[in-house]
Amino acid sequence: MPSSAGAASNGNPAPVGIFDSGLGGLSVLRAIRTQLPHEALLYVADSLHAPYGLRDNEFITERTLAIGEWLVAQGAKALVVACNTATAESIALARGQLSIPIIGVEPGINPAASLSKSRIAGVLATQVTLRSERFRSLIERYAADCHFVCQPGHGLVEAVERCEIDTPEVRALLASYIEPMLAAGADTLVLGCTHYPFLDALIRDIAGPRLTLVDTSVAIARQLERVLDANGLRASEDTLPSPPKLYSTDDGTHMRRLASSLLGLDVPVEQVSIEARGAERDRSHA
């Protein structure tokens, strides 16, 4: 029998599952690869059903559970819900139903409160996230003395899903969201959706040095590291880094393009069909 120290040094080679409504979670995957280069990663983009920000709570919860179960069936040892919207609506339920540790993402209200000198910060996130109980309680807990200018980022997830990250139309849309924040005195902007870090060059171009951008992807990667350590799930440092496996519920063309241009990742994308229980129910009643 190997000793427990020997077992720890062998590490756990099972993959970490990551999922988002679409391509946004690739910004989290990028940070995880840098922080945890020895971990094998499986990423599911539910692009067929994006954006989640326009869906109802039941739909988002069913998709989160179905994709989480699918990743568990592929052998995932932990799950990163790399979607603020799915975290806000369904992480509590997912934690109750899935047998592996789950890490969610939340808008960086706490870091924004630490960074803002004017005590005024903008938040760009989906409507579902901004209306959620979790978001309200984040502000109460960490930033009761700050004023937040909250703006739903209508149209931005769709633009990133189409790989349109620097077109004049997206620039105009972003400017219409950001300029009122600047006019209100914001000095900090929370990117409260994992799709938005892919727009950061455009945002910096519009706002210049007037806004400090808060993107929580590095913090999520560190949190994943802590959770893996706490559960004895880390891969061995002897494991050679391997490219992540990418899956999409649509044909994956845009995912392949975005992963290549923004992450330098030239890997195939496998199309998968993952049905939620509600979909089966609806069909059997049809």
- The catalytic site residues sit at 83, 193
In the bound complex, what is the minimum distance in angstroms from residue 33's beta carbon to ligand DGL? Answer: 18
Residue 84 contacts ligand DGL per CB under 6 A: yes
Binding ligand DGL (rule: CB under 6 A), the pick from 19, 43, 52, 247 is 52
| 3-state percent helix, strand, coil for the chain, nearest multiple of 5 | 50, 15, 35
253-259, long-range: CB < 8 A, 24+ apart: 254/23, 254/47, 254/161, 254/162, 254/163, 255/23, 255/26, 255/45, 255/47, 257/163, 258/23, 258/26, 258/160, 258/163, 258/198, 259/26
Residue 197 contacts ligand DGL per CB under 6 A: no
In the bound complex, what is the minimum distance in angstroms from residue 255's beta carbon to ligand DGL? Answer: 13
Counting residues that bind ligand DGL (by CB under 6 A) gives 17
In the bound complex, what is the minimum distance in angstroms from residue 243's beta carbon to ligand DGL? Answer: 22
286: its two tokens: 């049809």
Residue 151 contacts ligand DGL per CB under 6 A: no
Q: Which is nearer to ligand DGL, 25 or 244 (CB)?
A: 25
Say how far apart CA 5 and CA 56 lie, in whole Å: 47
Say how far apart CA 219 and CA 227 lie, in whole Å: 12
As beta bridge partners, residue 150 has 123
Q: Which is nearer to ligand DGL, 62 or 187 (CB)?
A: 62
CB atoms within 10 A of CB 267: 15
Residue 85 contacts ligand DGL per CB under 6 A: yes
Single out the segment in contact with ligand DGL by CB under 6 A; choices: 79-87, 140-148, 177-185, 210-218.
Answer: 79-87
Q: Give contact residues for ligand DGL (rule: CB under 6 A).
A: 20-22, 24, 50-53, 83-85, 126, 129, 157, 193-195
